[in-house]
């Protein structure tokens, strides 16, 4: 997987060995569930669609409910597509979390502002 969906929890700080304060953003990333596997012959491109954040069924229309029923997963609030990793077998309903990352590994994070 090349990415995860998450939610900003807040801001904090950590201290380096020489006592400098480093600002950090605390993010709750995952668990993300694979809701659809898009393939070249069927969809025209390769992608892995993942969902994050549970949602009540009453907030969805029938088309969206059918999409999640075919994936046999609970409805998700946020959906995103990522480029699949080559030579890895994805399955619908598979769960990914922060265990994808190694300690000390640098990651790129992007987000959406509320626009205030």
What would the DSSP string read from start to end of 10-77?
EEEEEE-TTS-EEEEEEEEE--EEEEEEE-HHHHSS-EEEEEEEE--GGGS-HHHHHHHHHHTS--EE
**pLDDT tens digits for range 30-71:** 789 999 999 999 999 999 999 998 889 899 999 999 989 888
pTM confidence score: 0.79
In the chain, where the domains are located: 30-97
User: Is residue 86 pLDDT above 80, yes or no?
Assistant: yes
- Provide the pLDDT for residue 50: 92
Q: At 104, is the pLDDT very low, low, confident or very high (cuts 50, 70, 90)? A: confident
**pLDDT tens digits for range 12-29:** 999 999 999 999 989 898
- Provide the pLDDT for residue 1: 60
Structurally, at CATH architecture level, domain 30-97 sits in 2-Layer Sandwich (3.30)
């Amino acid at each position: 997987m090349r990415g995860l969906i998450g939610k900003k929890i807040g801001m904090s700080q950590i201290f380096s060995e020489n006592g400098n304060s480093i600002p950090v953003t605390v993010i709750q990333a995952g668990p993300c569930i694979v809701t659809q596997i898009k393939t070249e012959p069927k969809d025209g491109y390769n992608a892995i669609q993942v969902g994050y954040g549970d949602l009540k069924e009453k907030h969805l229309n029938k088309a969206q409910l059918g999409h999640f029923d075919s994936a046999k997963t609970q409805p998700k609030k946020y959906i995103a597509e990522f480029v699949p990793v080559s030579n890895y077998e994805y399955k619908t309903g598979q769960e990914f979390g922060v265990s994808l990352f190694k300690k000390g590994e640098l990651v790129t994070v992007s987000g959406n502002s509320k626009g205030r």
